[in-house]
Amino acid sequence: MKVLVFGKTGQVATELSYHKQVTCLARGQADLRNPQICAEIIAETDADIIINAAAYTAVDNAEEEENLATLINGVAVADMANAAATRNIPFLHISTDYVFDGSGTRPWTPNDPVAPLGAYGRSKLVGERGVTAAGGPHAILRTSWVFSAQGNNFVKTMLRLGADRDTLNIVNDQIGCPTSAADIADALMKIAQLFHKGQGRSGIYHFSSDPAVSWAGFATEVFKQSELDIKVTGIPASDYPTPAKRPSNSRMDCSDIEAAFGISRPDWRKSLTNILKELGVVRDEKT
């Protein structure tokens, strides 16, 4: 099985690159700001599976750059999906819980009504609809609160801030499911294998870790495992305004992906331990 991945340096793309069946394309090789080039690559590839792990992810900047975000997250994705559908190549695409409005407390299901709060979510929704409309074999994987040892993410921010502070105020009224990039990559590769065997089921799926937690709770666990004596004080999101409004409820119902592909939800606390070991923050007992 040959897997072609759009994206190389992002969190999920980096984790995908560790799989031997995978070839990753950097921005210089396939820039989603030029959808036609990306579609042409798919038209000529000998890959069995396409995974799009490239995206415009600057949530706050998207409020001022919605056209660019939509070009990358929407128009390019639709063109790529159409190119894959023409050749009947399964197209796997990563999306986000930001397509929902974040209301309530019930976990979001793939069939729930979408209503993005901001430009980033709107741009990702354009991409989702483009993949579905293309009509080829596909899986759209909505995930949330991605973290890893690479790139910029909440865990690395907490470690940086915790290095020179003894107290931190962290939002506690936004609830979600932290999900490691490695777990997302593993889920995508399992889906890819099943599609390659002719056992894939096209659709939209949710994949995130368990249990749900607030950002303050997430931070507390980061400091606990890192053995940093940091006092975390929970604050409302209204005390930490951002250009883009974040969903208050990012809980996700992942029962469909388990039924379709046998993929169960990992415990993000165990994934966090692995990442802290990778960063050298926690000692690996094997070494």
Residue 15 Cα distances to 10, 24, 105, angstroms: 9, 10, 31
Residue 121 lies in a domain: yes
**H helices present in 20-145, as ranges:** 35-44, 66-70, 76-86, 119-134
Helix axes 154-162, 215-226, angle to 10 degrees: 60
Measured from the Cβ of residue 163, the count of other Cβ atoms closer than 10 Å reads: 10
Domain range enclosing 29:
3-153+178-209+252-266
Phi, psi of 224 (to 5 degrees): -60, -50
Residue 222 lies in a domain: no
For 168-224, the pLDDT digits (tens) are 999 999 999 999 999 999 999 999 999 999 999 999 999 999 999 999 999 999 999
Residue 225 lies in a domain: no
Q: Collapse the DSSP code of 154 into the 3-class scheme (helix H, G, I; strand E, B; otherwise coil) and give the result.
A: helix
What average pLDDT score do residues 1-9 get?
A: 96
Residue 43 lies in a domain: yes
Residue 223 lies in a domain: no
Residue 276 lies in a domain: no
Residue 141 lies in a domain: yes
Residue positions annotated with a catalytic role: 120
For 39-90, the pLDDT digits (tens) are 999 999 999 999 999 999 999 999 999 999 999 999 999 999 999 999 999 9
Residue 258 lies in a domain: yes
**Is this prediction's pTM over 0.85?**
yes
Quote the pLDDT of residue 282. 75
**Whole-number average pLDDT of the chain:** 96
The CATH number that applies at residue 11 is 3.40.50.720
For 103-131, the pLDDT digits (tens) are 999 999 999 999 999 999 999 999 999 99
Quote the pLDDT of residue 287. 46
Domain count, the chain: 1
Cα angle 142, 148, 154 (rounded to 5 degrees) comes to: 85
- pLDDT value at 283 more than 90: no
